[in-house]
Every structure is written in C-alpha cells, then in structure tokens.
Amino acid sequence: MTKRSPPPAKKLNAAELMDWIEDIEQRAMKAVADVQDADGLASQTAVFLGRGGELNRALERLVDLAKPERAEAGRRANQVKAKLESEYGRRREEMRAGMMQAQLQQEALDVTLPGRPLVRGRIHPANQTLRQIIRIWAEMGFQVYRSREVETDELNFGLLNMPPHHPARDMWDTFYTTNPQVLLRTHTSPGQIHAMRQRAPQPIRVVLPGMCYRYEQVTARSEIQFNQVEGLAVGRRITFADLKGTLTAFARRLFGAQVATRFRAAHFPFTEPSAEMDVECFVCGGVGCPVCKGTGWLEVLGSGMVHPTVLNNGGYDPALFSGYAFGMGPERLTMLKHRIEDIRYFWKNDLRFLEQF
C-alpha cells in the first residue's frame, strides 16, 4: 500500500511541482487499480485525496511559484484531483455494487417455495357433541341456562331431595372446598333449582350444559371431570308422555330418524317416576355385540318427572305444576358415537386423538 511521501523540505520550482503532481497521478491511479477491498480503497483515498493527503500538500506548494506558473500548476493539480476523485468514486461504487450482489446471492430467497401451512385448531370432540346437543334442544324451544360449577351442599344434594346422610349421596362423591358446605358440583342438576327459583311461577324450558366433578378413581370408564347437559321443563299439565315424546324426538335428531328407543324404570331422588333412556345399539343394530355388551341397547341418559319436593324447593306448587328433567353426558355420547374405548383420552390432549375429529 502506498504510504504518504514526506513533504519536500525545500521550496519547489515549477518543474519540480509539476513532476510531483504527475507522479501523484500515476501512483494514485495504480493504487486505485490495485486496491482489493473497501478498507484498502478508503485508506488510499485518505493518502492521496484526504485533507492532509498528498494532493492537498502539493497544492499548498503553489505559493512557492510565481503567478503565471502558479495558475498553470494549479489548473493541472485540479485536473488530477477531478480525475482521481471520479476514479476513486467509480471504484467505490463498483465495490458497493459487488458487495450488494454477493449479499443478495448469499441471502437468496426462493419465493417459489410453498409457505408453511397454518396449523388449524378444531373444536374438542366433547364440545362438538355438546354443541350438537344444544343445537337440537334449541330447535325444540329450549333456552340455554348456565349455572355455577362451585355449588353449595344444599343445592347439589339437599334441595334435590338428598338430605344429609341420604344413601343416594354415595353415587356422587365430590371435591369439597375447605368449607364443607361448598363443593364442586357432581352433576348439572342443581341448575334446575337455580332456574326454577329465578323463573317461578313462569313455565320453563331450559337446557343446562356444563362441567361436573366427581371424586372417583380415574379409569377407562370414569373421569373426575366431564360435561353434562341437564334439561328441565316445568309448566301446567306436563306429563310423562311429554317426557317420552320429547326425548324420543331428541334421540332421532341426534342418532338418526330410524333409531329405536326404550325407557327403563330407574331411580333418582329428584324425579318420580324415573327412567333411563336407551337407544338401539348402532354398532350391531340391536343384535348384540361387545359395545352394547350383548344387550342390543345403549344407555344414553337419565330422566324423570320432577319430584314434588324439588318443584316445591324451586318455588312451584306441585299441585298446580309438573315437569320433567333429564341429564346426559356428552363425553359418554361421543364415546358411543365414535366407539372410543377410554374416557381418559378426552383430557390427555394427545393430538393423535384430537385430530381424528
């Protein structure tokens, strides 16, 4: 790399200054041609064209010359300066373009590559069934009524005709809070009391969807947390025929118009009489298979005529009003529909399971 030459100590005459200027031109042109990179170019620019660079120092010596010679040498020096500036500028531009080109090549972006597909979320299978159930009941004139998941002992049991120590409570063991009177609801049935107390003495047609909790051993068939959809109709002259007809219509909408249903006598403390509804096994068509355990029938819900005590607790006079109620589990229905063998899949969050629905 060309270093700065020491300033001439003595005064220069015209010929010497002209030689120096020509010499600067030659060396500077060679340097700019030899330069390899932007750093080299910058330092050579400083050497020849910078404020303390050689050309400026040569210009300073113009004072050594007499006037006419000074004008001529000055003109020549400015010519050289313009030539060098343009050449150095050209090289700078050339390098900048080269670097840009290299960078573009290095960071090449293939815009023809297909984009990454968006992962689409979907509705959880239990919620799909839940929504389907709600839609059917809504079409049949039932309002959705939400009620709380944290309940009192009185609402979850007592007002549903299960006083303390009632043996039926064993069917619904639950999680208690530090206050033994406050618990996580074991079923959506306490929502019946809320709805009745809010609406009495108006007639009611509601479904109550929501999460329920039970203190149970988690197995393939039982979870500690699951959804239920409760139903309640209260009014004058509502009969067991209404219960059967409405639930049958519901089953046909959910499982298909051809599905056969049957009602079996059952017992729930909050209904009298009580019945469980079965649908004909849609796996074997009623012949008997492992899914229906050879019976040809699948149990889908519990139901019954609202017990007079419960009507009373809800604020309706049982002498004037009657009603029916029912409760079903969307997870259980989903299991039947898709032949899912293990209820634990619903909370496992295993995509291999969830993505099938």
- Under the rule (CB under 6 A), what is the footprint of ligand DAH? 187, 189, 230, 268, 271, 302-304, 325-327
Residues 193/306, Cβ–Cβ less than 8 Å = no
Taking the complex as a whole, the smallest distance from the CB of residue 271 to ligand DAH amounts, in Å, to 4
Taking the complex as a whole, the smallest distance from the CB of residue 208 to ligand DAH amounts, in Å, to 9
Residues 346/335, Cβ–Cβ less than 8 Å = no
Which residue's entry shows tokens 């840009």?
A: 100
Which residue's entry shows tokens 């050339």?
A: 94
Whose Cβ is closer to ligand DAH: residue 45's or residue 161's?
161
Whose Cβ is closer to ligand DAH: residue 281's or residue 325's?
325
Taking the complex as a whole, the smallest distance from the CB of residue 302 to ligand DAH amounts, in Å, to 3
Whose Cβ is closer to ligand DAH: residue 125's or residue 304's?
304
Buried b (16+ CB within 10 A) or exposed e, 242-266: bbbebbbebbbbbbeeebbbebeee
Taking the complex as a whole, the smallest distance from the CB of residue 212 to ligand DAH amounts, in Å, to 7
State whether residue 36 is helix, strand or coil: coil
Q: What is the distance of C-alpha 328 from the center of its chain?
A: 29
Taking the complex as a whole, the smallest distance from the CB of residue 311 to ligand DAH amounts, in Å, to 13
Taking the complex as a whole, the smallest distance from the CB of residue 173 to ligand DAH amounts, in Å, to 12
Taking the complex as a whole, the smallest distance from the CB of residue 353 to ligand DAH amounts, in Å, to 25
Taking the complex as a whole, the smallest distance from the CB of residue 336 to ligand DAH amounts, in Å, to 16
Whose Cβ is closer to ligand DAH: residue 14's or residue 168's?
168
Taking the complex as a whole, the smallest distance from the CB of residue 144 to ligand DAH amounts, in Å, to 16
Taking the complex as a whole, the smallest distance from the CB of residue 172 to ligand DAH amounts, in Å, to 7
- What is the amino acid identity at position 201? P
Whose Cβ is closer to ligand DAH: residue 41's or residue 208's?
208
Whose Cβ is closer to ligand DAH: residue 25's or residue 331's?
331
Helix extents (H) in the chain: 14-34, 38-49, 54-60, 67-106, 125-139, 153-156, 190-199, 240-255, 308-314, 330-338, 345-348, 351-354
Whose Cβ is closer to ligand DAH: residue 81's or residue 214's?
214
Whose Cβ is closer to ligand DAH: residue 81's or residue 332's?
332
Buried b (16+ CB within 10 A) or exposed e, 197-206: eebbeeebbb
DSSP state, 340? Answer: -
Beta bridge mates, 233: 205, 324
Pairing mode of beta strands 204-213, 143-144: parallel
Whose Cβ is closer to ligand DAH: residue 88's or residue 250's?
250
Tally Cβ neighbours within 10 Å of residue 211: 12
Whose Cβ is closer to ligand DAH: residue 75's or residue 264's?
264
Residues 61/74, Cβ–Cβ less than 8 Å = no
What are the φ/ψ torsions at residue 29 (nearest 5 degrees)? -65, -40
CA atoms within 13 A on the CB side of 183: 23
Nearest Cα to 49, choosing from 95, 94, 84?
A: 84
